[in-house]
Structure 1
Amino acid sequence: MSEPFVNKVAESGIVTLNLEDHFPKEAVMLFDMKDYLFMGLILKEKDFRESLKQLDITIYENKIVALTCSADAVIPMWAYMLVASALQPVAKEIIFGNEAEALQQLLLRNISALEPAGFTDQRVVIKGCGELPVKEAAYVEITKLLRPYAKSIMYGEPCSTVPVFKQPIRKQGV
């Protein structure tokens, strides 16, 4: 009779942390300043202010807004401030950058908001190779956050990991 299958990974006590779980669930709307440029090159203050007054800001209600200019143009700082001022009363969040950059900023914010004490003396595997584009900054942030608490930090999958950090063994009576 054969021995029953034992899942050693499941019994190892390893905690798997998937950074993809910390991406915002909401979609990001883009506000692109290029749509307000005269001849695709310059921003005319009077026309821009008038366009913002005419803007239906309700489409941004409770939305995460990525504010950027995808055109190769010099945009004065006050122009971004005007957009932020117009959208702030209705938008859930306004972030400078394109959609991908906004998602990464929100991911970093969500990682920073994790309670690291919950990982005290845990063996943690930070999952890699997922569906979403988790950037290097997120892996750096989670490592900084967990290192003071975790017993060990690894990267990969529980069945195949790369060691990143291991707490030194504390000698008794010293």
Structure 2
Amino acid sequence: AHVAVTCSADAVIPAWAYMLVGSKLQGVAQTVHFGTLESMEDVLYQEAIASMDREAYREGRVMVRGCGKDVPTSAYLYLTQRLQPVVKSLMFGEACSSVPVYKAPREAIR
């Protein structure tokens, strides 16, 4: 499990208190993140996208399906930056109603 540690109250909490929480979660949590659940989710998506093998998409036409999924908006930005250098085209939506995001000029694919 991934754990987000934060304090929602306007309180002064010493740094060592967070160190104690992190120490207790060692070996129990897969990762411990300081911040909100949303910021932790953002980091996890960014790491997953950074580690994906983009060679599988080289010179491909990629459709990113986002309808109905609870994916942070930032993940779409990270995915675009990761895939744009290698794909022929990048679109968002469904086949019947897609939004063209990027189309590579012939010499742009590296």
TM class, shorter-chain normalised? 0.7 to 0.9
**Where does residue 57 of structure 1 map in the other structure?**
none
Aligned residues: 107
Deviation at 1:149, TM superposition (A): 0.7
Higher relative contact order (CA 8 A, sep 6+): 1
Give the RMSD, CA atoms, in angstroms: 1.6
1:103 CA displacement: 2.4
Report what 1:104 is aligned to: 42
Structure 2 runs not aligned, ≥5 long: none
Amino acid at match of 1:121: E
Q: Paired residue for 2:30? A: 92
Show CA shifts across 1:2-21 (max 9, x none).
Answer: xxxxxxxxxxxxxxxxxxxx
TM-score, normalised relative to structure 2: 0.84
Q: Which residue does 1:64 correspond to in 2?
A: 2
The farther-off stretch of 74-83 and 119-128 is 74-83
Amino acid corresponding to residue 5 of structure 2 in structure 1 = L
Q: How far has the Cα of 1:82 moved from its partner?
A: 2.1
The 5 A counterparts of 1:37-56 are none
User: In the alignment, is residue 139 of structure 1 matched against residue 51 of structure 2?
Assistant: no
Partners of 1:95 and 1:144 lie apart in 2 by: 24
SS in 2 for 1:128: coil
Deviation at 1:131, TM superposition (A): 3.3
Aligned equivalents of 1:129 and 1:73: distance in 2? 39
1:116 to 54, 71, 76: 54
% identity of equivalent residues: 46
State the partner residue of 1:162: 99
Q: Which runs of 5+ in 1 are unaligned?
A: 1-62
